[in-house]
DNA sequence: TTGAAAGCGCTAACAG
DNA sequence: CTGTTAGCGCTTTCAA
């Protein structure tokens, strides 16, 4: 590569140790030589070899981020915030996508360790004790966002269940008595980590139980659009009040609105609908979707901070809960 | 860290060189010892220290990506594709955001070099000969996407100007004779690289020149929404045919549609509008925006491939042009 | 205040 | 077929 401390040492006619002292500012050294060394270093455009330094002290100034994908706006926003926060601390962020593949996820985690990232922030697709054990064995600080694994790994996120309860109450307060929860497949999820959706569902169930007059339903599965359409066809002539869909993710809500628009049913008029996440896109969709803001920026920033605490050997909480916010739109 | 070749050597009672030979598969070595070594390596869960290897051979298996931000869906899609392609070649991707700050951009580039990424893919905010010189001085393979800098740095993208011409012709074919080009500030752009928008504008100008009966206008600046609204107010009672907006970016189009919806003007009925980029979001916006698909996945994939050619010392073209596609929606 | 020397873990040239 | 040796560039004792 370029200029090394050896070169500087030769030129300044001192030892590499002295050069090192001047450069690092540690240890006793005469002002004269120090100045000389610093000056020549600048002249030669000396850049320390970070690989060598890393090899020596084990610090790489790299963080690994592992998420599903970043076409998904939720994660894009998340990674964006993580990068900004990490940059403040002069850390690099290695972005890695597992694409919901559990093998890929494990491979990447191992590779990240091989590459000596100092810590990892991840939204896992795997779950369970075995996976937790695997993660703990990595011997690296790890922070989980989104899908919780277990108490052995620090988690940062919002209180999904409580947020869902608030959502249901809000829907109820708008006069809806038929409320349908829409989410991706949960039970069959072959070991896939769908913690967030499970929590939201729990919240939904807890909330509807409180209101005796709610007629509730749950639509779960990738064919949710068909199910929603079928349901709306059956109910279209019904007099028992309008139906509201509470979707475990804004994208589901957007898809449903799109599909029902095909049936000339308008959100906020012919049916109610609420999402979850408050992704940036919503700004451009009419009518404005009512949703829960899950504070993705704050979650990301907190995650980075917790990770740094771990890296620096501090104690951290099992769970860091960040406040969510109900965003009122026009779809209820 | 963990187990080293030294440990294995001791246990197998051979030299480290032999261990290395077994592990790397190079050089002559007896099957017996090779097997023994590989077996114990596996037993001890040996992982090579990549930092040491990198230090030795100068290869880090890391690529740097430097873009504006990834809340911007265009870049999110881009980075997503880059990661997937890089992963195929077992490379990591370091994601870096310059946030349109030219100093940040330079700093990051230098840091990436310090950290020995093997190559960089970037969509720069800086431009001009000086910046090109700076980039070339880095001594690293660099590929530019989006905003071109100059011929000295390989570029991958679509033919923006031609795409814009096609867009205008398409708008014309739909019967519009008043066409307004909407773009961010170009001329004043204090040295900011707005190459893509400039090219699109060039295409627009070339195309309208071909049609003598087009009444054209250009709205440029961050206050474009105000200008658009003012323009529509003036024309609302006019009989000279409807106006079409050709926006240098889908987001501008979405913003305009949103704003004009506030005036009860519907895209595709009261005015025409066309975007550029075909970001994922459009799937959820009604009416479907007519736009140009700029093949972000293909651009990203190509960029990675060109970068690898550079890394491997192959000759590459100044420009790699990827085909675009006109996407017909409902807004014209 | 400065320097010599050893070592991080891996690799490669050169011997044997 | 295997081992010795030196070295990547930096850091850190320890000794002068």
Closest Cα in chain B, distance from residue A99 (Å): 9
CA distance B294 to B282: 14
Q: Any atom of strand C under 7 A from CB of A4? A: no
Q: Give the pairing of strands A92-97 and A142-145.
A: unpaired
B293 three-class SS: strand
pLDDT at res. B187: 73
Contact call for residues B139 and B113 (beta carbons, < 8 A)? yes
pLDDT band at B1 (very low <50, low <70, confident <90, very high): low
| pLDDT reading at A207 higher than 90 | yes
Query: Looking at the whole model, is its pTM more than 0.75?
Result: yes
Let me know if B82 is exposed, middle or buried by CB neighbors in 10 A (0-12, 13-18, 19+).
buried
Q: Which residues are registered as beta bridge partners of B271? A: B267
Taken as a whole, chain A contains a residue count of 332
pLDDT tens-place string over residues A180-203: 999 999 876 667 889 999 999 999
Q: Any atom of strand D under 7 A from CB of B114? A: no
CA distance B101 to B66: 12
CB contact under 8 A, B284 and A254: yes
pLDDT at res. A12: 86
Chain pair A-B, CB pairs under 8 angstroms? 123
Contact call for residues A72 and B281 (beta carbons, < 8 A)? no
CA distance A88 to A92: 10
Work out the percent of chain A whose per-residue pLDDT is above 90.
Answer: 77
DSSP string, B232-284: HHHHTT--S--EEEEESSHHHHHHHHHHHHTTT--BTTTBEEE-SB--GGGGG
| pLDDT reading at A237 higher than 60 | no
CA→C1' distance for A5 and D9 (Å): 8
CA distance A177 to B182: 46
Looking at beta carbons, which residues of chain A come within 8 Å of B70? Answer: 70, 76, 79-80, 83
Q: Any atom of strand D under 7 A from CB of B57? A: no
Q: Which helix (H) or strand (E) holds B224?
A: helix B224-235
For chain B, the straight-line distance linking the first and the last C-alpha, in angstroms and rounded, comes to 63
CA distance A65 to A79: 8
| Phi, psi of B110, deg, nearest 5 | -65, -40
Task: Report the 10 Å Cβ neighbour count for A187.
Answer: 8
> What number is the average pLDDT over the span B278-282?
91
CA→C1' distance for B56 and C11 (Å): 7
pLDDT at res. B30: 82
Q: Worst-scoring range by mean pLDDT, A25-29, A66-70, A295-299, B8-12? A: A25-29
Looking at beta carbons, which residues of chain B come within 8 Å of A52? Answer: 55
Closest Cα in chain B, distance from residue A114 (Å): 6
A169 three-class SS: helix
Contact call for residues A104 and A46 (beta carbons, < 8 A)? no
pLDDT tens-place string over residues A256-284: 999 999 899 999 999 999 999 999 889 88
Query: Within 7 A of a protein CB, which nucleotides of strand C?
Result: 1-5, 7-13
Q: Any atom of strand D under 7 A from CB of A49? A: yes
pLDDT band at A243 (very low <50, low <70, confident <90, very high): very high
Task: Report the 10 Å Cβ neighbour count for B234.
Answer: 9
Work out the percent of chain A whose per-residue pLDDT is above 70.
Answer: 98
Mean pLDDT over the full length of chain B: 93
Q: Determine the protein residue whose CA lies at the shortest distance from the C1' of C2.
A: A18
| Higher local confidence (pLDDT), A12 or B178 | B178
pLDDT at res. A236: 59
> What number is the average pLDDT over the span B206-214?
96
Let me know if A76 is exposed, middle or buried by CB neighbors in 10 A (0-12, 13-18, 19+).
buried
DSSP string, A216-252: EEEEESTTHHHHHHHHHHHHTT--S--EEEEESSHHH
Among A239, A236, A246, smallest CA distance to A270 is for: A236
pLDDT band at A37 (very low <50, low <70, confident <90, very high): confident
Mean pLDDT over the full length of chain A: 93
Let me know if A270 is exposed, middle or buried by CB neighbors in 10 A (0-12, 13-18, 19+).
middle
Q: Determine the protein residue whose CA lies at the shortest distance from the C1' of D3.
A: B15
pLDDT band at B239 (very low <50, low <70, confident <90, very high): low
| pLDDT reading at B208 higher than 90 | yes
A29 three-class SS: coil
pLDDT tens-place string over residues B73-131: 899 999 999 999 999 999 999 999 999 999 999 999 999 999 999 999 999 999 999 99
Q: Residue B284: which of A54, A94, A285 has the nearest Cβ?
A: A285
CA distance A76 to A81: 9
pLDDT tens-place string over residues B255-270: 999 999 989 999 999 9
CA→C1' distance for A318 and D10 (Å): 38
CA distance B4 to B52: 11
Domains of chain B (ranges, CATH numbers): 5-48 (1.10.260.40), 61-157+297-322 (3.40.50.2300), 160-293 (3.40.50.2300)
């Amino acid at each position: 590569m370029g200029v090394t401390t050896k070169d500087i040492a030769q030129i300044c006619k001192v030892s590499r140790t002295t050069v090192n002292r001047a450069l690092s500012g540690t240890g006793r050294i005469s002002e004269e030589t120090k100045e000389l060394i610093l000056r020549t270093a600048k002249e030669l455009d000396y850049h320390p070899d970070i690989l060598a330094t890393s090899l020596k002290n084990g610090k790489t100034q790299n963080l690994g981020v592992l998420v599903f994908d970043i076409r998904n706006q939720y994660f894009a926003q998340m990674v964006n915030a993580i990068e900004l926060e990490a940059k403040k601390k002069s850390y690099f962020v290695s972005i890695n996508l597992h694409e919901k593949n559990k093998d890929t996820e494990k491979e990447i985690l191992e590779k990240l360790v091989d590459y000596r990232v100092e810590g990892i922030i991840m939204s896992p697709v795997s779950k369970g004790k075995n996976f937790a054990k695997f993660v703990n064995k990595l011997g690296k600080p790890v922070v989980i966002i989104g899908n919780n694994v277990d108490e052995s790994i620090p988690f940062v996120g919002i209180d999904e269940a409580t947020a869902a309860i608030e959502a249901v109450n809000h829907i109820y307060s708008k006069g809806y008595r038929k409320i349908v929860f829409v989410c991706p497949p949960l039970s069959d999820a072959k070991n896939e980590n769908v913690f967030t959706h499970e929590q939201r569902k729990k919240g939904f169930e807890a909330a509807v139980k409180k209101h005796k007059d709610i007629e509730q339903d749950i639509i779960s599965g990738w064919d949710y659009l068909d199910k929603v359409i079928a349901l709306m066809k059956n109910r279209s002539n019904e007099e028992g009040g309008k139906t509201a869909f509470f979707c475990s993710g804004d994208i589901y809500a957007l898809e449903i609105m799109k599909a029902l628009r095909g049936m000339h049913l308008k959100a906020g008029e012919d049916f109610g609908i609420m999402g979850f996440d408050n992704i940036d896109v919503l700004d451009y969709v009419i009518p404005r979707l009512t949703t829960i803001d899950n504070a993705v920026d704050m979650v990301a920033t907190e995650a980075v901070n917790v990770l740094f605490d771990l890296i620096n050997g501090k104690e951290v909480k099992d769970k860091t809960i960040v406040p969510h916010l109900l965003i009122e739109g026009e779809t209820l």
